[in-house]
A and B are shown apart, each in its own frame.
Chain A
Amino acid sequence: MSTPHTTSPAREQSPPAGDSAPAVAAAHIEKIFPTSGGEVHALSDISLSVRPGEFVSLIGPSGCGKSTLMRLIADLDQPSSGELQVFGKDARQARRDQDYGIAFQKAGLLPWRTVSDNIGLPLQLHGVSSAQRKARVQGLLEMVSLEDFGDHHPDQLSGGMQQRVAIARSLAEKPRLLLMDEPFGALDEMTRERMQTELLRICTETGASVVFVTHSIPEAVYLSDRVVVMSPRPGRISEVVDMELEDPAARGDDLREDASYFRMITAVREALHGGAPSGRGVETR
C-alpha cells in the first residue's frame, strides 16, 4: 500500500509530546486509494499544523480530499505515506486515548437510544459510572440547549436538534480536538447560522481545537482562525488564508454584516478560484 513517493519522514518541527504539542501535525501526507479503475490520488503532499485551541476549516470543491484528510486525522483511514501526529502521538494512539471528538454531516444517532443515552454513549463505552455520566450528560444538554429533550428519541427531533445532539456527543469526553465533517451541511440557512454561533460559544467554553470540513465560504470565514483552501486531482492545499477578524469569542451576527467579514469572504473566494472570477462546486451562500 506504500507508494514510490518517498519523502523522508519530516520531523523538522519535531513536536514535543504533551500539551504544548500541536493538536494536529501533518507532514507530506499522501493518500492513494486503489480502485477497480486504477489508483486514485486523493491527497498529495499535505502539510498542516493546527495549534491547540485553533479553529481551522478545510474548504474546497468536491473531490479535493478534505473529508479524506479529516478521516486520516481520525484514524478512520491511514495515510499511504507521510507523517501524521495528533497531540504528538500517532493518530492511532490518539484515537485509543480518545483525544478527539467527531461529528459527521449526518447526525448518526442510534435510533433506539434516547437523546441522553446517545450523548452518554462514548462515556458508557469507556466505563464511566452511571452517576457521573448522568451529571455530564445534563451539562452537555444545557450546553446545546436541549435540557427538555433528554428523554426524547432521535426520530422526535428536527434535523437541527439531531445535529446538536451529535455535537454534544462529540463533546462528551471533553476532547481537546473536535473533528467535524460538514456537520451543518443538511440544515437550512437560518438554523445553520444559529448553530455556527453556538459552536463558536462552545469552542470558547471548552478551548478545544477544531478541524472543520465545509463547502460553504461564509461558514468557513465566520468560524475560523485559518481557512485551508484545497483543490482537487490530486487533493492538495492550494492556500491557507488567515482570518483577520475579531476574536472568535466576540463574533456574533453583527459580524455577518461587517466589511471585514466580506473582505475575508472575497479572499477565500479568490483563493478557491485561483483568482478567476467564477467558480464551480462551491456554495457561496
Chain B
Amino acid sequence: MTAAPSTPNTGLFSRTGPPGSRATWLWGVIGILLLLLLWEGYKAIGPEAGVVLGDTRLLPRTSDLAMPHTWDMVTRLFEGETQARNASPLWVTVVSASAFTLGIAAAGWLAGVVVGVGLALVMLRWKIAEWALLPWIVLSQTVPIIAFAPVVRSWGAQLELGPIQWEGWMSVALIASWLAFFPIAVGALKGLQSPETAHVELMHTYSVGWWTTLLRLRLPAAVPYLLAALRLGAANAVIGAVVAEISTGQRGGIGRLLIQFAGQASSDPAKAWGPIFGAVALGLVAAGSVAMLGVILSKYRRTEEK
C-alpha cells in the first residue's frame, strides 16, 4: 500500500540521474554486492544468539537456520521442492505460484481501474459528487481497510450470483481491487483536473462539449498522473492479493507458499526464501508492466516548456 500520487513526478524512477548511464548501473550492482557482503559478513562474525538489547533482538541470530547462506538461497531454487525423487525444482513451484497470484492481482487491478476511473469521471462531471466522495476516498487510503480481509473469507462460500458460483480467488481479487482503486481514483481525478484554465477556455472558445473536452484535452493531460496512479494501483493489487491469499486461506498462490515454506524453515531454512524472491519478482513485474505502458504513451508525458 503506497501513498496517493501527488504529482506525476512522484515516481521513484524520475530522478535517477542520467538514466541507463554505465556508472549508475555499476553503482546499483555494487549496492547489491554490498548487501550480500553485509549479510555474509555479519553471519560470519556476528554472535550466535544475535544482538539483544533488553527484550528486543536488534540483530538476528547467525545460525544457518536463521540466516542461511546467500548462495544456499539461490541454489535451493534449483533443487527439488520436496525430498521426493520426481519433485519439480523449487523455482518451478515458485514461478507457477507467482503467475497464479499475478493473474488474480491483474484481475483485481483491472476491476480497480474500471471503478477508479469511473468514479473519477463522475467526480469530474458533478462537483457535488466530488465533495461527497473524495473525503471518503482519501480517508480510506489512510486507514487499514485491508484489516477486513479475513472477514471476506466468510462471504466466499455463501455468495451465489445467478449462474456464477463465487469462488475463492474472487474474494482475493475483490480485496486486491479494493486496494487498487483508491490511488487510481484520486490520481485520475487529479489528472483530469490538471489542464490549465487557459486550455479549458480554449476548448470553450471552440464551442465544444464536455465529452470532446474530455477526449481531446483532459484524458491526454491526465496520462502522466494516470501512469503514476496505475503503478501504485498495481503495487497495491499485488500486496492485496498476497495478503488476501493468506487471510482467506486461498491455495495455489505465492501467499500460501510464503506461509507454508516458512513453516518448514526449521528443517529447510533456504527454502523459505524461494517465495520471497517470487513475491519480489511479482511486484517488479507488475510495476514494470505499467512502466511499459508509460513507454507506449510517452508522447503524452511531454510538457509545454522545455
Interface positions, chain B 131-186, Cβ under 8 Å from A, are none
Interface 9-residue window, one of A37-45, A118-126, A201-209, A226-234: A118-126
Q: Which residues of chain B have C-beta atoms less than 8 A from A154's C-beta? A: 302, 304
A111 to B8, CA, bound (A): 15
Q: With both chains docked as a complex, state the minimum distance between the C-beta of A126 and any C-beta of chain B, in angstroms.
A: 7
Interface positions, chain B 188-223, Cβ under 8 Å from A, are 196, 198-199, 201-208, 212, 216-217, 220-221, 223
Q: Is A109 an interface residue (CB 8 A)?
A: yes
- Main SS at interface, chain B: helix
A96 to B204, CA, bound (A): 9
Q: Is B303 an interface residue (CB 8 A)?
A: yes
Interface 9-residue window, one of A12-20, A58-66, A98-106, A131-139: A98-106
Pairwise interchain contact B199-A108, C-beta atoms closer than 8 A = yes
Instruction: Tell me the nearest residue of chain A to B302, going by C-beta.
Output: A111
Instruction: Tell me the nearest residue of chain B to A103, going by C-beta.
Output: B202
Q: Which residues of chain B have C-beta atoms less than 8 A from A109's C-beta? A: 304
Q: Which residues of chain B have C-beta atoms less than 8 A from A121's C-beta? A: 206, 216
Interface residue count on the B side (C-beta < 8 Å)? 25
Contact of B305 among A108, A110, A155 (CB under 8 A): A155
Q: With both chains docked as a complex, state the minimum distance between the C-beta of A235 and any C-beta of chain B, in angstroms.
A: 20
Q: Is A153 an interface residue (CB 8 A)?
A: yes
- Point out which of B201, B208, B299, B304 has the most chain A C-beta atoms below 10 A from its C-beta: B304
Q: Which residues of chain A have C-beta atoms less than 8 A from B199's C-beta? A: 108, 110
Pairwise interchain contact B207-A95, C-beta atoms closer than 8 A = yes
Q: With both chains docked as a complex, state the minimum distance between the C-beta of B167 and any C-beta of chain A, in angstroms.
A: 42
A126 to B212, CA, bound (A): 10
Q: Is B300 an interface residue (CB 8 A)?
A: yes
Q: Which residues of chain B have C-beta atoms less than 8 A from A106's C-beta? A: 196, 198
Q: With both chains docked as a complex, state the minimum distance between the C-beta of A272 and any C-beta of chain B, in angstroms.
A: 27
Question: If A104-B198, A153-B302, A154-B304 touch, does A110 touch B206 (CB 8 Å cutoff)?
Answer: no
Q: Is A107 an interface residue (CB 8 A)?
A: yes
Question: If A76-B201, A108-B199 touch, does A125 touch B300 (CB 8 Å cutoff)?
Answer: no
Instruction: Tell me the nearest residue of chain A to B204, going by C-beta.
Output: A76
Pairwise interchain contact B299-A112, C-beta atoms closer than 8 A = yes
Q: With both chains docked as a complex, state the minimum distance between the C-beta of B194 and any C-beta of chain A, in angstroms.
A: 12
By a beta-carbon cutoff of 8 Å, the part of chain A in contact with chain B is 74-76, 95-96, 98, 100, 102, 104, 106-112, 121-122, 124-126, 153-156, 162
Jot down 14 A-B pairs with beta carbons below 8 A, ordered by A. A76-B205, A95-B207, A108-B196, A108-B202, A108-B304, A111-B303, A111-B304, A112-B220, A112-B299, A121-B216, A122-B206, A125-B208, A154-B304, A155-B306
